[in-house]
Chains A and B, each alone.
Chain A
Amino acid sequence: MIYIIPLIWLGTGALAFHTWKYHPEKFQRALQSFKRTAKIFLGVVPLALIAANFFTPLVPSELVGRLIGESAGLSGILIAILLGFCIPVPPPIFFPLIAVLLSAGAGFPQLTALIASWNIFAIHRTLGIELPIMGRYFVTLRVLASLGILPLSGIAAEVLTKWLDF
């Protein structure tokens, strides 16, 4: 991790210099976009981190551990997929929640299935943005095509976790 941070800064700096030098008008647009996204990280994300820290000691870890813990196996994966369906929150709230579940004893395979399911079905995004833009056929086709293989992601994660010895 400690090596990745300077590398990202270096790459970003080089790209920013290139854009500033050769495409000044695009650099201005990038700055605007940066300011827009930075808002989330100045406001919501720190607050969500604090909320997650407040929330962690309150989560009934035994219950969650039983439901989607490492030992819950395939039924835990299926429960995690169902959970992923019905969590209508954007990433700044979702990932602190995952951090809470992780420290409450949830297993990697189950969390993999949970995140994959949330990624594919995120109700707020599918209904709020995708459906109005892309239409019913696109959304139905995408959901139908994804439904069957979600449990396999959890099973693959189970194999990988054992193999990597995490």
Chain B
Amino acid sequence: MYGVRSLVSYLKSIILDRLFAVVAVVAILSGALLYELKGPEAIWQAFVSNKSVFLLVVSLVPAALMLSALIEVLLSRDLVEKWLGVGSGFKGIMLATFAGAFVPGGPFLCFPIVLALYRAGADWAPLITFVSSWSILSIMRIIVFEAPLIGFELPIVRFLSCIWLPPIIGLTARYISRIWPPPAGERDR
């Protein structure tokens, strides 16, 4: 009985979500507009046309989610801090690029890590490199969101043509922070 009740409350928490409500409104509005403009066959087509995408999402996403959850709990914070600390120089920027690409999870995981690194004395440049790499190159996001929805060709082109961006952003940030140093007290955050 308890299992059923917790399942119901889990399902309820899925539906009573602001993002879910927003997407639902978009779906209903665009569905209504499509019905109005192109008729009921267009609605049916919309459901049938992307069968392979649905299959891909169903077959891939559970594993990718479990993988990212496992990496999240296994990642040692001390180790990450050692990689990106002050004085890590260009090596730190390259490691930040690499780490950012592999750190899974959303902004609620990423930015607390960045703040912890900052407090531990990490430099601006590796941190900005890390955030850039996490946002542009995140492999987990490519597997979970990009590839199932848009196929592999665009993500491959995008990844290869953006792979050099985070180090350049980090080096530029280092240069800018030298000519425009942080205001006093910024370190106390």
The residue that A120 contacts in the complex, of B42, B71, B135, with Cβ under 8 A, is B135
Docked complex Cα distance between A160 and B164 (Å): 14
Verify if B5 is at the interface (C-beta below 8 Å from A): no
Docked complex Cα distance between A38 and B162 (Å): 29
Closest chain A residue to B174, Cβ basis: A145
Asked if A138 and B30 make an inter-chain contact with CB atoms under 8 angstroms apart, the answer reads no
Verify if A115 is at the interface (C-beta below 8 Å from B): yes
Q: Known A43-B17, A50-B47, A58-B34; judge A102-B158 contact (CB<8 A).
A: no
Docked complex Cα distance between A44 and B127 (Å): 31
Asked if A122 and B135 make an inter-chain contact with CB atoms under 8 angstroms apart, the answer reads yes
Contacts of A125 on B, CB cut-off 8 Å?
Answer: 107
Contacts of A111 on B, CB cut-off 8 Å?
Answer: 154, 158
Asked if A53 and B50 make an inter-chain contact with CB atoms under 8 angstroms apart, the answer reads yes
Asked if A141 and B124 make an inter-chain contact with CB atoms under 8 angstroms apart, the answer reads yes
Docked complex Cα distance between A74 and B45 (Å): 35
Asked if B59 and A12 make an inter-chain contact with CB atoms under 8 angstroms apart, the answer reads no
Asked if B145 and A92 make an inter-chain contact with CB atoms under 8 angstroms apart, the answer reads yes
- For the complex formed, measure the closest distance between the CB of B151 and the CB atoms of chain A, giving whole angstroms: 8
Give a binary string over A1-39; 1 marks a CB under 8 Å from any B CB, 0 the rest. 100010011011001100100010011011101110111
Verify if A123 is at the interface (C-beta below 8 Å from B): no
Closest chain A residue to B67, Cβ basis: A12
- For the complex formed, measure the closest distance between the CB of A152 and the CB atoms of chain B, giving whole angstroms: 8
Verify if B1 is at the interface (C-beta below 8 Å from A): no
- For the complex formed, measure the closest distance between the CB of B85 and the CB atoms of chain A, giving whole angstroms: 17
Name A residues whose Cβ lies closer than 8 Å to a Cβ of B.
1, 5, 8-9, 11-12, 15-16, 19, 23, 26-27, 29-31, 33-35, 37-58, 90-96, 98-99, 102, 108, 111-112, 115-116, 119-120, 122, 125, 129-130, 133-135, 137-138, 141-142, 144-146, 148-149, 152-154, 156-157, 159-161, 164, 166
A-B contact pairs, 19 of them (CB 8 A): A11-B67, A19-B74, A30-B66, A30-B73, A33-B72, A51-B27, A90-B19, A91-B141, A108-B158, A111-B158, A112-B161, A112-B162, A116-B136, A116-B165, A120-B136, A138-B128, A145-B172, A146-B169, A159-B161
Which 5 pairs of residues, A with B, have the shortest CB-CB distance?
Answer: A51-B27, A156-B161, A53-B46, A43-B14, A145-B173
